[in-house]
Chains A and B, each alone.
Chain A
Amino acid sequence: MQAFLDIFDIYLLEAVVNGILLGGVLALLALGLNLIFGVIDVTWICYAELVMIGMYGMYYLVQVFGVPYWAAAPLTILLVAALGAALHYIVIAPLLTAPPINQLLATGGVLFILQSFATVAFGIDFRNLGIRLPVLAFGEMHFSYARLLSFAAALIGMVAVYLFMTRTFTGTAIRAISQDRQIMSLMGVDTRRIYLITSALGGALAGLAACLLVLQYDVHPFVGLSFGPITFLICVLGGLGNFVGGFIAAFVFAEIISLGGLFSDLEWGYVLAFAFFIVMMFIRPAGLLARRT
């Protein structure tokens, strides 16, 4: 019995730490989506598919063109940022005055386009970078460097966004627009330019997430479906547009998935997370950090 408990605790602790590491990347994804929603008031359903395209970008740069990882990552971030800006320019901008649901459904169309584009262009095979990072043994626990690296990079990415938003003029303008859309255009801020910058920034975050996820997961055209829904749940639980709420919710969900996956399959972790989400909606419907009115 005692031996059983020892093993149990070690695995439990390992799962808890892995959950925290997973939470970093999920928080990054949630931040990008929250940024877009907070500023432009649009939800990109195809956000996870942008990540998928970024993962393919990394795969082709590293495996096919032989670019080293550290050089391929910035290129991929730029690529997905450009994609985000293009998405805004082509699809969202003509719909800014349409009902919000129409904008959301249009990005649903983009989800179809990106998925089938990947199917047509890259095929449905699972691909990976072929980089196997070593595993860190800490006591009797094992953590892959890929996860540690992702966690660190995700944190750095989030701090960079925070500094950009608080220390630069453009960042201040972005925050101001998310507070009051009408007034800011009267104050001489070019809303269209800010929207485009925000979209590119959201895309860049998706690109960064792609660089990190490709270290841990194989890429295929439908990979977005495996973390897209969970990202949306995180954003709703944290309160759409609420950065801090999304950050906390990401870690809560990551722990549930990680611990749920410990006792059974990973898919059941997702199911558990969804059940938790439904319960939370009864308790805190407006998001984790919402003030009661």
Chain B
Amino acid sequence: MNPRYLAWAAGIAALIALPFVYRDPYHLHILVLILIWSFAYTSWSIMGRFGLVSLGHGGFMGVGAYVTALLWNHLGVSPWIGIPVSMLAAGVLALVVAYPCFRFRITGHYFVLVTLALSGIVLQVITATRDYTGGSLGYTPNRTRGSALLALQFDDKATWYLIALFVWLTGLLIWRWVDRSMSRYAMEAISEDEDAAAAAGVNVTAEKLKITLISALMTALAGALYCQYQMFISPDTVSGISVSLQMVFAVIVGGVYVSLGPTVGAIITILLAEILRIGFGTKAVGWDNLVYGVLLVLFIIFLPKGILGSVIARLKTQRKMPQRS
């Protein structure tokens, strides 16, 4: 058997076994956060690696979180139905914005600016409908009095850890599936030269829409999970431009072109935020973003492949060296 698969199997087994051995609630909480955000970052990188840089993912995440919570609080719809509905809503939003963009060749700067405006608008809508969503003060899903399973509300960190782990692994599998599909070649051709790709028989609009849809659906799921886990959402934590930029930052720090890059990015960003928070307490307000910003600029200038990407690239060249000589 391939040692690569063995390593993966051992790693996954260890991660599944972890909560049965080690139950410190704070550390499990950090792990759950890392897993949920890793999943969100992975879904961004599915688009981002093909040059489809979207700053609208904060919007998709906000739709995922808020639609699920609103359906539960106002209509009593279980998140088991609410989450698919919220994903559907984010998917429709993605299609409505992305279709004209792709059909009419809005790429590069234009696409970034349009999606940037999208996440800004979702934030505005959440703030404007403050009678239902609580506006910028945030929103809390009602505690269930009935079945915890039906309401998807668990007090146990270990349960959440396993759920998040499962979702994160699914995200990696989707990444791998895209990586090995024909879509990847089509998308790479498109990111090089759209006209040439179209001439070679690639349906440019359809391929781009497919990738965007997958990415938006996953991001909405991440938002809904985050809402169910934290039991508190506010427009600033799940939507808007800063969340979108946070995704970009984490993925670029970790590495866009490798499957575990977004996860590495999530580990770094969340640990950084937690260390700053514990070390400086309330004085740290704003400092974590300051550090993010400086690191983002430095990484783009000096290490555009990200940490994991650069390490893997270096390992590969070292492995190839002896063969050449």
Contacts and interface: CB of A to CB of B under 8 A. Distances in A.
Q: Is the interface of A mostly helix, strand, loop or mixed?
A: helix
A244 interface: no
Contact of A270 (B55, B105, B121, B241): B121
B301 A232 contact: no
A275 B290 CA distance: 33
The size class of the interface chain B forms with chain A is 35 or more
Interface string B289-320: 11011111100110010000000000000000
Nearest to A273: B121
Nearest to B292: A112
A271 B301 contact: no
Interface string B99-124: 01101111011101110111011011
Contacts of A268: 128
Given A101-B112, A267-B124, A109 B117 contact: no
Interface residues of A, number: 49
Interface string A276-293: 011001100110000000
A104 interface: yes
Contact of A37 (B100, B109, B123): B109
A179 interface: no
Contact of A109 (B53, B241, B249): B249
B110 A113 contact: no
B125 interface: yes
Contact of B123 (A116, A225, A240): A225
B285 A119 contact: yes
Contacts of B249: 108-109, 112
A111 B101 CA distance: 25
Contacts of A101: 51, 53, 108, 112
Interface of A: 37, 43, 45, 91, 94-95, 98-102, 104-106, 108-117, 119-120, 124, 221, 225, 228-230, 232-233, 235-236, 240, 265, 267-268, 270-271, 274, 277-278, 281-282, 285-286
5 contacts: A45-B116, A106-B300, A108-B245, A265-B128, A285-B103
